[in-house]
């Protein structure tokens, strides 16, 4: 495998890892606060539809992004209402959100656009275009450094850079701010936080809201940057893969980055079967490559779910002692 091919595979890895990373960080905030959220898939899907629909109708991708985030936050609010205010089962609430999004997106898309559950293709200002970083064109032909900077680092949409900047931002918020300390404490011992005079409900709703924003970004990226429009079930299990990456990363931001890049690499290999065949010296069926990310999800969960220790109060509604 030559150097340019490697750069191309890594470039695809970055693009495909971006929605996983945003969803993984979304789950990290929520679960660190003690709210398990398997509804990441549904929030991404809803955000993908509304971002594409509004972008197609208005011709403005930024309005589409805001619509995607808003729709994701509505579902986050429903999840918070069910699991925090009414102390319902968090897993059932997440499953309900996934079913709701899967059905509503196709139904509304068909009603609005009559294209079989799709939105019109996004063009021009209706989608995010690649961003060319300074000096990328000037050093393209420079050996080694040129391809890395011009092909791998430069040329992504702005949401890719936001996703990767969100990793150090998440680390700083969780481990260097009072809000982050309290958020982590709520996931471990909400009673102690309540005793200190801090609102457990308020912190958990804040975590759920941040989760909604990040899922909105992930969904909008799918429909307005990675692809040019919405199609049925376009999240394609990425929310569940993000949960697997979160468990694999043991609820830590930097580990989450590498876990998502690993899953992104599995997905990228699907687009380059020739590389796989050259490496192992035999032909690989396309169906197997398509299933590789999901197979690895099961393997990683089976191998690490018992070793990863979630927040102690995760999944448990908090009832204030009187």
Give the residue from 68, 320, 92 showing the smallest Cα distance to 212: 68
At 26 the pLDDT is 97
Q: Is the dihedral of CA 204, 210, 215, 220 positive or negative?
A: positive
Prediction pTM value: 0.94
CATH 1.20.1050 assigned to 3-304: no
At 176 the pLDDT is 95
Residue 305 has pLDDT above 60, yes or no: no
Angle at 25 (CA atoms; ends 66, 206), nearest 5 degrees: 65
- For the ranges 38-47, 170-179, 302-311, which has the lowest average pLDDT? 302-311
3-class DSSP state of 131: strand
> Band of the pLDDT at 307, cuts 50, 70, 90?
low
pLDDT tens for 70-101 read 999 999 999 999 999 999 899 999 999 999 99
Structure tokens that stand for 266 in this block? 């599995």
- CA separation for the pair 291, 276 (Å, rounded): 14
Higher per-residue confidence, 284 vs 187: 187
> Band of the pLDDT at 303, cuts 50, 70, 90?
low
pLDDT tens for 220-273 read 999 999 999 999 999 988 999 999 899 888 899 999 999 999 999 888 887 776
Residue 195: count of CB within 10 angstroms of its CB: 10
> Band of the pLDDT at 14, cuts 50, 70, 90?
very high
Give the residue from 77, 90, 89, 105 showing the smallest Cα distance to 35: 90
Taking phi over 0 as left and psi of -120 to 50 as alpha, with beta for the rest, 222 belongs to: alpha
Residue 9: count of CB within 10 angstroms of its CB: 17
Give the DSSP H or E segment for 166.
helix 158-176
At 286 the pLDDT is 63
């Amino acid at each position: 495998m030559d150097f340019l091919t490697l750069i191309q595979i890594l470039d695809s890895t970055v693009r495909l890892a971006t929605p996983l990373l945003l969803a993984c960080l979304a789950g990290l905030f929520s679960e660190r606060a003690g709210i398990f959220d398997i509804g990441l898939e549904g929030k991404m899907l809803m955000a993908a539809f509304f971002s594409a629909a509004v972008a197609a109708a208005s011709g403005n991708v930024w309005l589409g992004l805001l619509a995607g985030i808003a729709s994701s936050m509505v579902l986050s609010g429903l999840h918070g209402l069910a699991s925090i205010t009414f102390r319902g089962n968090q897993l059932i609430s997440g499953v309900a959100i996934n079913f709701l999004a899967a059905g509503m997106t196709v139904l509304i898309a068909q009603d609005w656009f009559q294209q079989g559950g799709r939105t019109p293709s996004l063009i021009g200002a209706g989608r995010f275009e690649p961003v060319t970083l300074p000096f990328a064109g000037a050093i393209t032909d420079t050996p080694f450094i040129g391809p890395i900077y011009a092909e791998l680092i430069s040329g992504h949409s702005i949401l890719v850079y936001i996703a990767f900047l969100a990793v150090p931002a998440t680390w700083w918020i969780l481990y260097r701010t009072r809000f982050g300390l309290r958020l982590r404490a709520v996931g471990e011992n909400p009673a102690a936080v309540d005793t200190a005079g801090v609102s457990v409900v308020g912190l958990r709703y804040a975590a759920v809201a941040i989760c909604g924003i990040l899922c909105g970004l992930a969904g909008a990226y799918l429909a307005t940057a990675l692809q040019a429009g919405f199609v049925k079930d376009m999240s394609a299990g990425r929310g569940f893969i993000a949960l697997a990456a979160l468990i694999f990363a043991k609820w830590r931001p930097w580990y989450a980055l590498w876990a998502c890049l690993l899953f992104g690499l599995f997905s990228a290999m699907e687009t380059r079967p020739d590389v796989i065949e050259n490496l192992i010296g035999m032909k690989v069926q396309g169906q197997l490559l398509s299933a590789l990310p999901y197979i690895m999800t099961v393997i990683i969960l089976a191998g690490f779910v018992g070793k990863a220790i979630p927040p102690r109060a995760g999944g448990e509604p908090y009832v204030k002692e009187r």
